[in-house]
Amino acid sequence: MARVALVELPKTKESLHLQMKEGVGFLFDSAEQNPLIIKLYFRFRGTANPVGKVIQKI
């Protein structure tokens, strides 16, 4: 999920709303396809093991 290509900054409130809506949709779709990502993130964030280091780097 962290490797998503960033789009340009929104110039209007409407374009911000659209980007946020698309981003949330992408997040939910990714979590549905890879349900362990959320568990791994919350289990290992802030730890010094290899998984925690990758999470911090991303």
Residues 54/45, Cβ–Cβ less than 8 Å: no
pLDDT digits (tens, 9 = 90+) for 19-48: 888 888 888 888 899 899 889 989 999 999
In a domain, 3, yes or no: no
The reported pTM is 0.52
In a domain, 24, yes or no: yes
Q: Give dist(CA 33, CA 28) in Å, integer.
A: 9
Answer whether residue 2 shows pLDDT above 80: no
Instruction: Please give the pLDDT value at position 5.
Output: 63
In a domain, 40, yes or no: yes
The stretch 50-58 carries a mean pLDDT of 89
Residues 14/21, Cβ–Cβ less than 8 Å: no
Answer whether residue 1 shows pLDDT above 60: no
In a domain, 6, yes or no: no
Q: What is the domain range of residue 51? A: 13-57
Q: What is the count of structural domains for the chain? A: 1
In a domain, 8, yes or no: no
Task: List Cβ<8 Å contacts ≥24 apart for 21-29.
Answer: 26/1, 27/1
In a domain, 50, yes or no: yes
